[in-house]
Every structure is written in C-alpha cells, then in structure tokens.
Amino acid sequence: MSTDSADASEPPPVVWWIVGIGLLLLALALSYAYLTGLFRSASKCLITNVPGLYDSRFALSLEGLANSADTTGRLVGFWPVVDDIYTARREAIASAQHLVQYETYFMTPGRRADAFAEVVTDRALSGVKIQLLLDHQGTSSMPQVYWRRLRNLGVEIQFFRQFDWRAPLDYNSRSHRKLLIIDGQRVFIGGAGVSDHWDGTAFKHDTAPWCDFELAYEGEVVSLLQGKFLQNWACAGGTIDLREGLHRVQAEGTIPLFITDNTSTLNESSIRLLMQLHMLTAKRRLWIGSPYFVPDHNTTHCLIQACQKGVDVRVLTMGAATDKKMVHLASRELYGPLLRAGIKICEHQPSMMHAKFVLVDDDWVSTGSANFDPRSYFHNDELNISGRYPELFQKVEQFFLNALEKSWCLSYAEWQNRPRLQKLKGQGALLFKNLL
C-alpha cells in the first residue's frame, strides 16, 4: 500500500526529461550570452565641451574621434515612398553601362526579389559586370536556385560572413549596409532591403507601406563608398581587380560630407561616437529616426543632457507594427528617463518605421544604416553619411513631420501605466538587449 502511494506521488519520467532539457537549454542560452559579451561592463565615457556645428573643430572631432572620412558630394535623388525607391533602383541598374555593385543586408522571396533578378539578368546579358554582396544571415530565406540562375549568367555573388564552425560567434556580427553603386559614378543609400516587407504586406499589423526613404549622391563620395564596398567584398572572398581601379568622379557643385562606417570590434564604436557628437553639439533641435531604438547609458545621458540645455529632442521609432517584437518591448522599457526629462518619443502606427536619420539644428543631417542600439554600435558593419546640407535637411525634415502625423507620442504617465504583462516582457527582453 505505502509503495503504491509513493509511486503515485512521483512525477512520470517524461517530466524529468522535460525539466532536464529545459535546464540544458537555459544553460546553453546563458553560456551564449556570456560568450557574446552580454554581461560585459559597458563603457561610460562622457564627452564634454563639444564644439558647435559651425566650429571647424567639429569636423576635426568627426575625423579624429569618430573615424569619419571627409569627402564631397551632391544630392541627386531623394525617394520617400516605397514604390519610388524600388523604381529608382531598377531604373538605375537598367541604365548601367559597365558595372553594378550592390550590397544589402536583407532579401526575401517575392515580387521585389523577382523584379531585382529581372533587371540584373538584363544587364548581365548586355555584358555589364554585376557584383552582389549579400549578408548571409539576412538573405538566408532566398532559395539557392535564385542565386544559381544569376551565377549562370556571370553575376558575381559573395555572401558576407557565412557561418564558420571554427568561429561560430562571429556569425553574430553582420553587414547591415545597403549600397547600390552604378558605374562608379552614382551611389544609392537607404534602409530598404529587397523584400515585399516594405510594401506592408508581410505582417497583419501593417496597414500601409513601411516608412522609409532612399537617396542618391554623385561626386567624390561615390569613390569612397566604392572602396567601402570593396573592403567587404574582399572580406567575403571576392576578387578585386585593380586594373579597373576606383572611379574618378567630378567634384563640381558638391558640398563637404563625412562618411562614418563601423565594423564589429571590442574598441569604442565609431557610430556611437558619431551619434554622441550629434547629440552634444545640438543647440536648438535634435530629431532622430531609429526603428530599433535601444539606447545605452551613454546615449540616454547625452539625450537628456541635450534636452536640459533647451534642445527640442524628438525620437521617431517603430510602434506595435514591428518586424521585431522583442526589440520593441526592450525599447519601450527604456523610455522612462527620457520621457520624464521632456523628450518626445513617437511610435509610428500604420506600419513599420524603418528610416534611420539624425537632424541637428537647421541644416545638419546624417542618414544611413545605423540605429541607436547595441547591434549597430558594436556588432554590425554600418555606414552613415553626414554633413551640413540644407536641401537634404529640408527633405528629411518633411519626411519626419509627415511620419509624425501618423504616430502616437507617449506621455510619461501613459508609459508608467502600461500593462503589467508588457512591463514583464520588456524586462525580460532587456536581459538580451546587447544581442538584439
């Protein structure tokens, strides 16, 4: 009798298997987080006495502190509508006479990828050299037959940082850039991948195309960006034929620009320093667009410091219409100190907000691939172009204001009263914020 009673009170063996597997998975997750630096002590270096935008020392600070290359260029295109972005790219590729170089992080099967293959195929059959540099992780959903068909036409394809069992943690560092270079004379840079996601059709919560833009430059900036492309092309194992060289371009009608790129490193992040300089030099306005907004201690401190100086600080970011729910939960959990300081944080409602930019005062603008998050700061290859460019500033300013009309700006009280379950999920997401 007592033996039967004891047997009945013990959980069945399958329960112990489930518990054991759960503990093993938890141990593996913690080990991965530890090895990738999740628990590493973050740098809390502060920058003081940042010179103003019109002070020559500000340019020197960008060059020396944020490793920014000075160059010149002129804006030749700006597209704030998704359909126009893809049309402009397709027409640019179709116009290429001898060379197309394209680097992207994200690509998925669908009509956008089919249209891309169609125009690339046409140019390849016409004898144009095509080089495609694709992030291995971000394009992993594409079928191999897609790439085989292009390779059979002579298209050169390299995948950035494929998984290597000899260095598995390297796979966490990706190329997040989006560059299209036509004949070494014109460069397109923006946030959109080659995916139907941007049409607002992939997720039920999207009721409109994604909020993003693309722009194009000509001038000396193209040569430098071509060099950046070739750096990652070499990293991926591509051949660089220096008989072709980097293309010399005309400099007439251009303005000074700064190129800041970021590679995964344990040193201080060039992108984070660039953003800090923007925040600390602002005198009147600091308007930020960043879908993945997960500010670290330094970023939060700089934003609050700017607001306390009387700067109009606004952040446009993604809302519930997001492709990465965990990032949104972590982001929301960090709003508190910023909202309490008077910073306006607005979440785009109709669809995913994917544009990345910074507007400072009346004419300084920075655009590119970088977000305000640990992944852009310390894990990804990123690239931003910055400068005093009134014409571009006005276009991005109007983009910001249009998006703001379709956004919900939270108050500190609303943030405090968010649902308890959302708070718990956000706190859980923050445990992995350095990997998001």
Q: Nearest to residue 349, comparing CAs of 321, 328, 330, 314?
A: 321
Residue located via tokens 């070494």:
184
Which structure tokens are listed for 79? 């597209």
Q: Are 274 and 350 in contact (CB under 8 A)?
A: no
Query: What CATH number does the domain containing 265 carry?
Result: 3.30.870.10
Is 120's pLDDT higher than 90?
yes
Q: Which of 27-31, 109-113, 169-173, 283-287 is least confident?
A: 27-31
What residues make up the domain containing 379?
A: 56-435
**75-97 pLDDT tens trace:** 999 999 999 999 999 999 999 99
Whole-number pLDDT of residue 411: 96
Chain centroid, CA 116 distance in Å = 21
Q: Which residues contact 90 (CB under 8 A, 6 or more apart)?
A: 115, 116, 119
Q: What percent of the chain has pLDDT over 90?
A: 74
Which structure tokens are listed for 225? 């960006």
Structural domain includes residue 301: yes
Binning pLDDT at 50, 70 and 90, where does residue 267 land?
low
What count of other Cβ atoms lies within 10 Å of the Cβ of residue 115?
15
Binning pLDDT at 50, 70 and 90, where does residue 247 land?
low
Q: Nearest to residue 189, comparing CAs of 88, 99, 263, 265?
A: 88
Structural domain includes residue 29: no
Structural domain includes residue 381: yes
Which structure tokens are listed for 298? 């330094």
Average pLDDT taken over every residue of the chain: 91
Tell me the residue length of the chain. Answer: 436
Q: Which residues contact 59 (CB under 8 A, 6 or more apart)?
A: 70, 256, 258
Whole-number pLDDT of residue 134: 97
Q: What share of the chain is helix, strand, coil (3-state, %, to 5)?
A: 40, 20, 35
Q: What is the mean pLDDT of residues 200-212?
A: 94
Whole-number pLDDT of residue 196: 97
Choice between 4 and 211, residue whose per-residue pLDDT is larger:
211
Q: Nearest to residue 369, comparing CAs of 292, 317, 433?
A: 292
Choice between 275 and 432, residue whose per-residue pLDDT is larger:
275
Number of domains in the chain: 1
Backbone angles phi, psi at 348, to 5 degrees: -70, 135
Element (H, E) at 382: strand 382-388
Structural domain includes residue 104: yes
Structural domain includes residue 326: yes
Whole-number pLDDT of residue 288: 98
Whole-number pLDDT of residue 244: 64
Structural domain includes residue 384: yes
CA 347 – CA 289 distance, rounded (Å) = 10
Q: Which residues contact 95 (CB under 8 A, 6 or more apart)?
A: 182
Structural domain includes residue 73: yes
* Whole-number Cα distances in Å, 354 to 166, 193, 317: 34, 10, 8
**309-338 pLDDT tens trace:** 999 999 999 999 999 999 999 999 999 999
Strand partners, 388: 364
What count of other Cβ atoms lies within 10 Å of the Cβ of residue 360?
25
**164-174 pLDDT tens trace:** 888 887 888 89
Where do runs of H (alpha helix) occur along 290-334?
297-308, 325-333
Which structure tokens are listed for 210? 């994604």
Of 37-51, 243-257, 379-393, which has the strongest mean pLDDT? Answer: 379-393
Residue located via tokens 């970021």:
262
Binning pLDDT at 50, 70 and 90, where does residue 29 land?
confident
Binning pLDDT at 50, 70 and 90, where does residue 1 land?
very low
What count of other Cβ atoms lies within 10 Å of the Cβ of residue 201?
12
Nearest-5° angle of CA 19, CA 22, CA 27? Answer: 125
Choice between 344 and 28, residue whose per-residue pLDDT is larger:
344
* Whole-number Cα distances in Å, 121 to 97, 114, 257, 385: 14, 10, 34, 30
pTM of the model: 0.90
Structural domain includes residue 370: yes
Q: What is the mean pLDDT of residues 158-166?
A: 91
DSSP state of 353: B
The phi-psi region of residue 361 (left if phi > 0; otherwise alpha if psi is between -120 and 50; otherwise beta) is: left
